[in-house]
Structure 1
Amino acid sequence: MSTPNTALRAVRTGMRMSQDDFARALQSAGYRTGEPNDANKRLVQRWESGAIAAPRPLYVRALEVVTGLPIELLGFASVTGESVAGNDRDGHDLSSSLSDLSELVAPTTTPRPAGAHGSYGGVWRSRYQYHSSGRNQSYAGQHFVVVIQHGDRLTARSLPGSAPSALSLDVTVDGSVITGTWVEQTDPAGYYRGARYHGAIQLLVEPTGRRMAGKWVGFGKDLTVNTGPWELVFQEASTSKATLDRYNVVPDDV
């Protein structure tokens, strides 16, 4: 008898996504990372029901990008060294046979080793500054974020208890340069009333690999282009549930 994946369902519902919404987000993440997938509502249902004990690596990466959590915290069994079988419509189940693997698994992009870019996975403290034209005052936004790394790609998602807004970063590592995009869903009860802002970000990694600092760019009112400083400071490499619970709090002012 299959054991329902209550962890994945709790994460999805906590993100206020339907199964359809979640599947579309997985597809979008696949296109952004250069690994298109065929996620659909049926596949999400099979994951949550426990009919599929572990997803293909293709979906592992998409799940981590969308949720901002390591696969170990999403209620799945390890897929390391396992083969998969199934179909593109409903996903893939674990199989002990390797005979037809080449026909069943579509080719995927193999990321370069993480060591070539440094190792950045773990919990980081994010802090950026911005000027509010409506209030004519400068402010700082702070979050604890979980960084997931696949080769030269980093995905960061804020822990929900660290701020009333939700922050995400999708960036690429090129030596000591970090370049990508950011999205922030502001607090529905705050000054910006749940508005969604997005833009670009570029950071330089210090030689220690434990601090990134640079600038963000984004649009403001009347098509103005705004910018400001942004830094991320490493806190801990672990992404265990106990660690994330510990950082799921509002950062102290610095």
Structure 2
Amino acid sequence: MSTPNAALRAVRLGLLMSQDDFARAVREAGTRVGEPNDANKRLIQRWEAGTTQAPRPVYARALESVTGLPIEALGFAPRLILDQITADGKGGHDLGTTPSGIAPPTAQPSSDTRTRSNYSGVWLSRYEYFSSGRDATFTGLHYVVLLQHGGRLTARSLPGSSDSPLTMDLEVDGHVATGTWTEQTATSGYYRGARYHGAIQLLIEPTGRRMSGKWVGFGREFDVNTGPWELVYQTASTHQSALHEYNRRPDA
């Protein structure tokens, strides 16, 4: 019997999406990167029921883009298995088990290496903003999972690192990353669940271990604000054990 994919369902519900909404988001993600797919509600149901344990790579990449999480954190086979399935010519359909009938093995942690061309991993996000209502400067801290697809970077904060979920969508051109950010503030916090968004540009250090730059966004008084923002590399691993380790409040 298939084991339900509770991880994927939990992520979808956390995004406040119905199965139809989620399928639409997966299709739109594929279209954005030039890899159209036919995701629909029935496919989402098969994934969540555990009938499919290894979606085709085109779907895997779209899922990572929508959720900001690596495919293994969504309850599926790790990317290594998916790539091997495709290389063997068996990637025409979503798969339930490996050819031997044995469920795909658990992902192993990736080596803790960093190159200029691949920035996937866990990073510490740190930005500063001035609160006119409190007449003080504050720091926002999140651990984010950064995933790279070609020249595109997507980031999503780990839920345990902050009460205010953060997402980023960036394009890399050489040593410059440019894009947008969105933060949904905590309902119990000072900003009472307000949603803020804006633009961001970061310069990537030659070591590939730090990105620093500026954000711009609107304020509560209908003004446009700006401030420093940096991402500091923590680990290249996006395995469940690494995500569990960083699913906590960052040290100030």
TM-score with structure 2 setting the length: 0.83
Matched, 1:182 2:181: yes
Report if aligned partners of 1:85, 1:94 keep a CA contact under 8 Å in 2: no
Tell me, yes or no, if structure 1 residue 84 matches structure 2 residue 82. Answer: no
Q: Which residue does 1:118 correspond to in 2? A: 117
Q: Distance in 2 between matches of 1:14 and 1:23?
A: 15
Residue correspondence of structure 1 range 3-152 to structure 2 within 5 A: 3-77=3-77, 78-82=81-85, 83-85=90-92, 92-93=94-95, 118-152=117-151
Residues of 2 paired with 1:137 and 1:117: CA distance? 37
d(CA) in 2 for partners of 1:198, 1:30: 23
**Which secondary structure does the structure 1 equivalent of 2:179 belong to?**
strand
Cα–Cα, structure 1 residues 181 and 34, in superposed 2: closer, same or farther, change >3 Å? farther
Structure 1: tracts of 5 or more residues without a match: 87-91, 98-114
Offset of residue 94 of structure 1 = 7.0
Secondary structure of the equivalent of 1:30? Answer: helix
Offset from partner CA, 1:198-236 (integer Å, 9 cap, x none)? 111100011111000001111224542211110000011
Cα shift at 1:135: 2.3
Amino acid at match of 2:133: G
Amino acid at match of 1:165: S
TM-score of the two chains, using structure 1 as the length reference: 0.82
Distance 1:23 1:173 in 2: 27
Which residue of 2 is the match for residue 231 of structure 1?
A: 230
Distance 1:185 1:226, change over 3 A: same
Following the alignment from structure 1 to structure 2, what is the Cα–Cα distance between the partners of residues 14 and 24? 16
Pick closer, same or farther for the CA change 1:168–1:245 going to 2, 3 Å: same
Q: Which has the higher strand share?
A: 1
With 47-56 and 144-153 compared, the bigger mean Cα shift is at: 47-56
Q: Distance in 1 between matches of 2:206 and 2:158?
A: 27
How has the CA–CA distance of structure 1 residues 93 and 238 changed in structure 2, closer, same or farther, with 3 Å as cutoff?
closer
Is 1:196 the counterpart of 2:195? The answer is: yes
Count of aligned residue pairs for this structure pair: 231
CA distance in 1, matches of 2:151, 2:115: 8
Structure 2 distance, partners of 1:71, 1:22, is 15
CA distance in 2, matches of 1:31, 1:220: 32
C-alpha contact (below 8 Å) 2:204/2:212 kept by paired residues: yes
Amino acid at match of 1:81: Q
CA distance in 2, matches of 1:193, 1:186: 7
User: Aligned equivalents of 1:3 and 1:95: distance in 2?
Assistant: 12
1:107-150, CA deviations, whole angstroms, 9 ceiling, x for partnerless residues? xxxxxxxx995221111000011112222222111100011111
Q: Given that residues 53 and 97 in structure 2 are in contact (C-alpha distance below 8 angstroms), is that contact kept between their aligned partners in structure 1?
A: no
* 230-239 or 116-125, which deviates more: 116-125
Q: Deviations over 1:25-63 (max 9, x none)?
A: 323333443434332221110111122232122211111
Query: Gapped runs of 5+ residues in structure 2?
Result: 100-113
Give SS of 2:128's match. strand
1:112 is matched with none
Query: In percent, how many aligned pairs have the same letter?
Result: 65
SS at match of 1:79: helix
Q: Which has the higher contact order (CA 8 A, sep 6+)?
A: 2
Name the CA shift for 1:128/1:116 in 2 (closer, same or farther; >3 Å): closer
Per-residue CA distance 1:139-188 (angstroms, 9 max, x = gap):
11110001111121111110011111000111111111011111111111
CA RMSD of aligned residues (A): 2.4
> Does the CA contact (< 8 Å) of 1:203 and 1:214 recur in 2?
yes
Counterpart amino acid of 1:6? Answer: A
* Distance change in 2, residues 1:44/1:68 (3 Å): same
Pairwise CA distance, 1:23? 1.9
